[in-house]
Amino acid sequence: MTTRTLLFDSPFLLGFDHTRAQIDRAARAAADSYPPYNVEQRGERAVRITLAVAGFGPDDLSVTLEGRQLTIAGKREPSATGDQAFLHRGIAGRGFVRNFVLADGLEVDGAELEHGLLHIDMSRPDTVHAVRRIPITTA
């Protein structure tokens, strides 16, 4: 972590405080392992995040994008029948919040819940990066 701080404290990298904060936030989020997820490259310009959300329905899940932070949250209401007696309970049903920091230009196309998997599809629109000449003025 010290190396990252030293890198971003270089006098040649001005205005990267926000980037440093995003990297730190992403590192903290990566330490959490529930729910399990995959990140899949789908072609040159598309990415899919898939979360294993067995037992959650569409009304139990929310996907929000605030700035460049994608937040996926799940909260299950307790079952209406309180007389369930589990001999083994291995399917986690606890609530969760999972955050991803998206690169600039990556757009969220949609989310789909299918067979206990929540798919979030993203793409990077094809943009042409033009070289811009900066005029030099004299004082």
DSSP string covering 4-25: HHHHHT-TTSTT-HHHHHHHHH
Q: For the segment 16-46, what is each residue's pLDDT rounded down to a tens digit?
A: 776 677 676 666 656 667 899 999 999 989 9
Task: Tell me what the mean pLDDT of segment 70-96 comes to.
Answer: 81
Both structure tokens of 10: 């270089």
- Is omega for the bond preceding 35 within 30 degrees of 0, making it cis? yes
What does CATH list as the number for 36-79+89-126? Answer: 2.60.40.790
Q: Please compute the mean of the pLDDT values over residues 84-95 and round it to a whole number.
A: 82
- For the chain, the first-to-last Cα distance in angstroms comes to 43
pLDDT at 48 over 90: yes
Task: Give pTM, 2 decimals.
Answer: 0.68
| pLDDT score for 12 | 66
Where in the chain are the domains?
1-31, 36-79+89-126
